[in-house]
Amino acid sequence: MGLGVDDAESYPGISKRGGGGSRRNCQVEVERQAFKHAVDRCAQQVSSRRFWSSIVKLLTLGFVKCSSYVEEAEAQYRDALDDLTDFDELSAEQRTLLDELSGCPDFQDVRLSQVGSSLVSVLGGQHYGSEWESIKQRILDRDGHACQEADGRCRGPFQVHHIVHLSKGGTNTSDNLIVLCRFHHSLKHQHMKG
């Protein structure tokens, strides 16, 4: 629809509220009011077309009929009502899903690993830590910014690999880290293949 929370004052009975959840609720209500407004406009158009159709019919002694003109407006009205109903059903489903999500535990220091286009949690491992960028740079410098496999099949940017994975209890110490190219790094991790 292209409407935002800042458009709330354009619709009577809607007020802006603060906070994440109430802001989302306000956005949903603004969008619902826009659908309702479209339904009301279509209802007025049906009424207007019926009136003018009867006037034309009366003035032409019934020789000119405007039934298709009225039927078109009625079809638009039905479509607008269907859109409003669909919106209400989706909003209810969204509220249900958000309620279910609010009951989910929030894990601290859970690393996410990308698999294809989805994200899955890697539980049980240590977090990289705030010093990771400086550790990574130190290992890149130590290994001369070169893949340590160096078998002529190197491809992709250089990455720092944990020899003993964090999820298996590995650490960020220099003896557990090695520089690999993306290709060789992907050979060490199942989730990076593909």
Q: What is the pLDDT of residue 31?
A: 82
Report the sign of the C-alpha dihedral through residues 147, 153, 159, 163, in that order.
negative
Q: Is 190 exposed, middle or buried (0-12, 13-18, 19+ CB in 10 A)?
A: exposed
pLDDT at site 101: 72
Range 82-111 average pLDDT: 75
> So where are the chain's domains?
5-102, 125-192
**How sure is the predictor about 97, in pLDDT bands with cuts at 50, 70 and 90?**
confident
Q: Which amino acid is at 35?
A: F
CA 104 to chain centre: 18
- pLDDT tens per residue, range 13-63: 433 333 345 666 677 788 888 888 888 998 999 999 899 988 888 888 888
Across the chain, how many H-helices and E-strands are there? 4, 4
- What tens digit of pLDDT does each residue of 123-179 get? 443 456 678 888 989 999 999 888 998 787 787 788 899 998 887 888 889 999 999
Q: What tokens appear for 176 in the block?
A: 């557990």
DSSP H/E element including 51: helix 20-59
For the CA atoms of the chain, what is the radius of gyration?
31
